[in-house]
Structure 1
Amino acid sequence: MSPRREMADEQVETTGVDDHLARLGNQQEHDMGKLESFRRYPRACAWIIFAVWYVLLVSFENQASGNILGIPRFREDFGYLHDGTYVLHANWQSAFSGAPMASAIFGCLGGGYLADKFGRKLMLQVALVVSYAAIAIEFVATTNELFFGGKFLNGFATGCIATVCVSYIGEIAPLAFRGVATCLVGFSYTLGPLVSALIVKNTGTLPNRWAYRAVFCAQFGFAFVITPFIFFMPESPWWLASKDRDTAALRSLELLGYRGEDGYKRLSLIKQTLEKVRAETEGVTYLECFRATNLRRTCISIAPKCMQAFSGITFAASYATYYMQLAGYSAQKSFTLQIVQQVVSMVGSIMSWYFVDRVGRRNLTFYGLLALTVILLAMGGCATATTNKQAVEATVAFILLYCWMYNLSIGAVAFTVLAEVSTSRLRAKTVGIGLAVVNGLNMMWSFVLPYLFNPDKANLGAKVAFVFGGCSVLSLIYLWLELPETAGRTYEELDEMFMKAIPARKFKDFHPEAQVTDEKTKEEL
């Protein structure tokens, strides 16, 4: 063993902080590009993919709720006859969508707290078991009450999974790969719905209960793939280091591909980052997220996620198929268009992998939402001409365009901002707050939208786009004033800039002391 490694090993066993190694580790993060990060740390990238696959349980479950509303046999089994067509009771329709979001709030907040207390790995294992039970209940349900119970239980599991996975990905991703890694969460939210749409396309017109039960069979498939790997998943080195379990953190880093001196550099950087923010996160409770500089960070972290709810994604994701059928499209054609909708969403998400670093978090979020606002207003305008076939077709086209732009911009980047802006000691809790708030907002829309949208209620149809367009205008003002550019910044550098209260529009050009010191350390070698 080299003298430097012996010295580093001794440092890990005592204080866990070696300033020189931390400086080298920080500079090394800046020096590596995406391709080099992937080549150097393939294991970390593999576990990122695993966590992204885990999120499929969330995205599939979320979309399945909306997809089955468009299945005629589901409406026949769980609804009632209205003007010659089976429709769902508005209260049950709201409950199927809103109640899982309510339980997801508890899952997000509970998952954030328990993941900090017991670790990321254990919480994902528990959530997987709960999800298995919930899927089974949904599958066998023949009454509204039982189906509601399965959805409610699965909401808790998916809330926990989403919170822990986003935190985990943000903690194990190399700096150069962090933007892409967190955008992959957004990609997962397009892949799950695509699989759901393909299943509905092939089974949705069946005359029996397999028309909708086939959707839930796929959820078991996602869970089966996860199960054997969850036992070998490395615990987050950030969580282990925060518990002063430095030796275990070093082993975890080795499993993630940080071998030899790389592991000591990375651990020293983690420990130094945690120590610098310890004074402002001493209590490590949810209240700490709203004190001192953490208040600003919490607001910025969760803002893009909240804006998703106000930008109309609940309508586009859950009501597009239903709208197409009410507008005169056959069930089979509406299912085909739903697949097209998910494909263009996936294309947008894939494009975000390039633009999240090339354009930056701030610009991609702001100008993406600006484009969405224009699309929403145009969609609402077309929807006013309900008797014009071309106007109806244009409305459907705008829904597809919306899905593409949403997933290219705020649909993907919101996860990046959520994981990056929060301070290291409060990351899981901040992510939990963000996802809990957005679930609360989505729950509100899920109860309100049926009464605005349905033909037996206000019958606004796609004209609800005007409501979301107005909300998006207000969101744009906040983004312009408060959203900073975080691309290419290590967590230590972000901590320094927030502690110094650097204005959002000056983040991109600011040179933190940590970066200057790292460059000097590199020159001295």
Structure 2
Amino acid sequence: MEKSHEASEPQEAGPEWRTAEGVRDTSLRGNWRILLVTLYIGMSLFEYGFDKGVVAGFQAMPGFLQVFGYQTPDGSWEIESTPQQIITSFMTVGGIVGSLATGPIGAHLCRRYSLMIASVFIVASTVIMSETTSFGALYFARLLVGVANGVFINFATVFLGEIAPPHLRGLCFGIACFWITLGRVIGMVVNNATADIMSRKAYQIPLYICFVIPVFLILTLPFLPESPRWLIQHNRPEEALKSLRAYRKGTYDEVAIQQEFEEMKMVAEHEAAAGKDWRLMLEMFRGANLRRTIISIGVTSANAGVGTMFILSFGTYFLKIAKVSNPFMWTIVTNCFGLVGLILSWCAITRVGRRRLILASCIICAVAMLLVAVLYTVPGLSPSKAGTGLVVAVSLFLFGFNFGLESYAFLTSGEMPAQNLRAYTQGLSIAVSFVLAWVCTFTAPYFINPAELNWGPKYGWIWFGSSIITIAFVYFMLPDVNGRSLEEIDEMFRNKVSTRGFKTYVCVEVEQARSRGTMNALAHGEKTLDQEDIQDEGNAKNVS
């Protein structure tokens, strides 16, 4: 097999393997089916965002604190640091468990059914949280929520990465992540509406909303075509080709479909020798896969590295102890800036690429954390000015976070691993991210709680330093894979391409696989798409 070469030293393409090109419609209008599937799969991420928005507000909600908190001598309601730690951090612990289980689950269970299991867990945990008055049951429910969200995040990411065409993979995941931000904002809006109810209904009403999406997914997921890459990895090529045709209908002609199918087969053949038993996970730490594992873990850990969990988990409580008036309202406002950042990223992703957006996101978050720390370190600053500055800083942080990290860190970590290791590596990387998030949520109360160290916003100094380290990792380690197929990424890692070389590398093995796909299509007399199937042929372009 010939080795790949840099674009500056192009390989001569002989006529024996560059005989014809497949037709691919890259327009958004033409790809409406895959965008609709993206919105559908992305619904599973709503629960993760909604949980962040809802539970973070419970800690400042009298109706919740009457059951799980205590009343101070002046008549106000507070919560002790230990329940505060466990309620928030147990979701993260569950996320670790769910993420680590992703590899073994994904090795035997398809992507759709894995999402269905997570949906069942969400329904069960919501019933417990809304009805119990026991700390033990509440803690168990929080653990179960975390397991479900760990499975949701991993399999939704993997599923989208495996079915989206290369040129739309970034945009698709950005759209899917809209559900996380939307869930968080809706959770906060509902909390704001129920915060003054002086009964258990104050937190039960927000929890009841959690039932809608998982029940819908349980009823509809069986009708969604399975990931063609998962099917071909499990020796079901006929079903894989049928699934690929379903996801590329109206945008790829048969030549292009056969080309992509041959790419998948090529990678499956490379990985066949590794086997499928428990020893497969050890391959994550060997040879070229070790580099892929480090990058995957590093890019998901960037979420924790910039202090995200500090802002998301304690945002409302944080504003409250900083004496910002109406913290519920301002939490909604700051998260709306995050929604703006996410939407703007959709316009930039196909032009700029994931690497630059993630780097820009880390830089913005670092500046925001510096501003938070400085505002409450400078002596003589009035509380009103400090409060205003704090709202601006949190808004800036959430804008930056949604602009790159939340939208594309999980996707990028899922693009890095080998196909047969994707669920294992993705699960491990997100598990590590959850571990770091747990450390933050478990220790943050000691720093910010008035009964403990009482640092308040000065806690931002720690996260500013951590953000600088995160920026350095992304700059030096994360390659640019914008527009590349998963098979091209696999070939570049196997051939030990440098971080800077990914953008211009020519993948010869993938080109040869596409040539075989062309031969297969032409041998069976297949034709390209009719004009009526291509809605915008002026925007169609060949991918060679």
- TM-score w.r.t. the length of structure 1 is 0.89
1:473 corresponds to which letter in structure 2?
A: I
Which residue does 1:100 correspond to in 2? 91
| 1:135 and 2:130 are equivalent in the alignment | no
Residues in 1 aligned to 2:363 and 2:34: alpha-carbon distance in whole angstroms = 35
Q: Could you tell me which residue of structure 2 aligns to residue 78 of structure 1?
A: 68
The one-letter code of the counterpart of 1:196 is: G
Give the 5 Å matches for 1:73-472.
73-82=63-72, 84=74, 85-258=76-249, 261=254, 263-279=257-273, 285-330=280-325, 333-385=326-378, 387-472=382-467
Q: Indicate conservation of the 8 Å contact 2:362/2:401, yes or no.
A: yes
Per-residue deviation, 1:514: 4.1
Matches of 1:204 and 1:44, distance apart in 2: 39
1:199 and 1:464 mapped to 2: Cα distance? 29
AA aligned opposite 1:391: A
Counterpart check, 1:45 vs 2:38? no
Q: What is the alpha-carbon distance in structure 1 between the residues aligned to residue 17 and residue 261 of structure 2?
A: 8
Number of paired residues? Answer: 499
State which drifts further: 63-72 or 277-286: 277-286
Structure 1 residues 23 and 87, CA gap change in structure 2 (3 angstroms): farther
The CA deviation at 1:49 is: 1.5
How far apart are the structure 2 equivalents of 1:53 and 1:425? 26
CA contact (8 A) 1:273 1:491 kept: no
Match for residue 482 of structure 2 among 447, 464, 487 = 487
Gaps of 5+ in 2: 1-14, 523-544
2:53/2:186 contact within 8 Å kept: no
Structure 2 CA distance for aligned equivalents of residues 184 and 420 of structure 1: 17
Deviations 1:232-251 (A, max 9, x none): 12111111101111122123
Q: Using CA pairs below 8 Å that are at least 6 residues apart, which structure has the higher relative contact order?
A: 2
RMSD: 2.6
Distance 1:277 1:53 in 2: 32
Q: Equivalent pairs: percent with the same residue?
A: 27
CA contact (8 A) 1:23 1:269 kept: no
- Which amino acid in structure 2 is aligned with residue 63 of structure 1? G
1:282 positional shift? 6.8
- CA 1:83–1:308: 2 relative to 1, 3 Å: farther
Query: Which segment drifts farther, 431-440 or 145-154?
Result: 145-154
Separation of aligned partners in 2, 1:223 and 1:299:
33
SS at 1:297 equivalent: helix
Higher helix share: 1
CA, structure 1 residues 104+186, in 2 after alignment: closer, same or farther (shift >3 Å)? same
- Cα distance change, pair 498–282 in 1 and its aligned pair in 2 (3 A): farther
Which residue identity is paired with 1:90?
S
Give the 3-state SS of the residue equivalent to 1:397 in structure 2. Answer: helix
Q: Deviations over 1:384-405 (max 9, x none)?
A: 2575320221012101111001
TM-score by length of 2: 0.86
> CA separation in 2, counterparts of 1:200 and 1:346?
18
- Cα distance in 2 between the residues matched to 1:263 and 1:88: 58
**Structure 1 gap ranges (5+):** 1-19
Q: What's the offset of the Cα at 1:124?
A: 1.6
**Letter in structure 1 aligned against 2:128:** I
- Correspondence for 2:493 among 476, 495, 498: 498
Q: Distance in 1 between matches of 2:462 and 2:390?
A: 15
Aligned to 1:67: 57
CA contact (8 A) 1:21 1:269 kept: no
For residue 476 of structure 1, what is the aligned residue in structure 2? 471
Is the contact made by 1:186 and 1:415 (CA closer than 8 Å) also made in structure 2?
no
